[in-house]
């Protein structure tokens, strides 16, 4: 992000929240919303999720802790659901650089979990939970195995760090097994960040903090259009034409991408 009047750049942040019920055959339309913030402070997600209650699946970002436990460790209105993809990535990085047999064993064990998830994807909630009865014993064996292996690793090693990350989130990593609405990971949100990463390489900078806020608004529209099977350029041209032709502001909800003709079915794969 350009820093006006300072002649240099600074790092801005974009955070995306996604709702996508299609993996469990849900009826709600998928949607994404992006927020811009000047830093990684936990106050930003606290403000963004001030009225939200329910389940939040994310990585281990420390800024979310105050949402999960707002008062001396007591649970809050937001329940943490951890991400297996982040766990796997930490282990894969070790295996990729060291070819550690222990890291490979961990990857194989996690791979068995994802093999079950492949069968459960886009199935109704009850069917997903039924598939995951095969996952429960895998997890019951995985965590004790990690604890045992951890005693033989150097505490300062990257693999030990990855294993501690997993053990710290044992409860949060198992919530998806009995709740068919949940995924094993937050890759849906990770995928929504890809357009931002590509755009960053193409146009390089937001011009200011207000430019970052406008970028977040545009990404919200573009990503939500894509989630609903619409061509973002065509969708933007359509709604801007309708607005220019006098579409009433009190009926703006009619312009949501899932309300206009041509929207993809809710259960269709992105």
Residue 21's CB: how many other CB atoms inside 10 A? 15
3-state DSSP call for residue 269? coil
197 has a pLDDT exceeding 90: no
How do strand 2-3 and strand 13-19 relate by DSSP bridges?
unpaired
Lowest mean pLDDT of 47-51, 106-110, 141-145, name the range: 47-51
Q: What is the pLDDT of residues 218-241, one digit of tens each?
A: 999 999 999 999 999 999 999 999
pTM attached to this predicted model = 0.87
Residue 66 pLDDT grade (very low, low, confident, very high; cuts 50, 70, 90): confident
Beta carbons of 3 and 10 less than 8 angstroms apart: yes
Q: What is the pLDDT of residues 37-63, one digit of tens each?
A: 988 888 999 999 999 999 999 998 888
Cα–Cα distance for residue pair 132/151, rounded to 1 Å: 29
Q: Could you tell me the domains of the chain?
A: 14-79+188-255 (no CATH), 84-185 (1.20.1440)
- β-bridge mates for residue 13, sequence order: 37
Mean pLDDT, all residues of the chain? 91
Backbone dihedral region for residue 195 (phi beyond 0: left; psi -120 to 50: alpha; all else: beta): alpha
Beta carbons of 147 and 167 less than 8 angstroms apart: yes
The pLDDT, as a whole number, for residue 265 is 44
Residue 158 pLDDT grade (very low, low, confident, very high; cuts 50, 70, 90): very high
Sequence-distant (6+) residues with CB within 8 A of 127 are 120, 180
């Amino acid at each position: 992000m350009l820093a006006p009047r300072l002649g240099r750049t600074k790092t801005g942040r974009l955070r995306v929240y996604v709702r996508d019920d299609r993996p469990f055959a849900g009826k709600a339309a998928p949607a994404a919303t992006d927020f811009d913030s000047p830093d990684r402070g936990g106050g930003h997600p606290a403000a963004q999720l001030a009225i939200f209650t329910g389940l939040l699946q994310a990585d281990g970002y420390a800024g979310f802790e105050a949402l999960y436990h707002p008062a001396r460790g007591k649970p809050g209105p937001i329940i943490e659901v951890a991400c297996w993809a982040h766990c796997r990535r930490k282990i894969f990085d070790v295996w990729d650089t060291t070819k550690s047999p222990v890291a490979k064993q961990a990857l194989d064990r996690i791979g068995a979990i994802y093999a079950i998830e492949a069968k459960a994807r886009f199935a109704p909630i009850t069917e997903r939970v039924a598939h995951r009865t095969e996952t429960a014993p895998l997890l019951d064996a995985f965590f004790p195995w990690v604890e045992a292996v951890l005693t033989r690793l150097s505490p300062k090693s990257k693999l030990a760090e990855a294993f501690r990350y997993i053990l710290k989130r044992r409860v949060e990593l198992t919530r998806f097994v009995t709740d068919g609405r949940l995924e094993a990971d937050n890759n849906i949100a990770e995928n929504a960040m890809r357009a931002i990463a590509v755009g960053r390489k193409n146009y390089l900078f937001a011009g200011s903090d207000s430019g970052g806020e406008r970028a977040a608004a545009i990404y919200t529209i573009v990503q939500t259009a894509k989630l609903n099977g619409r061509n973002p350029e065509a969708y933007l041209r359509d709604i801007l034409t309708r607005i220019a032709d006098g579409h009433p502001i009190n009926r703006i909800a009619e312009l949501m991408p899932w309300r206009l003709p041509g929207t993809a079915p809710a259960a269709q794969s992105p």
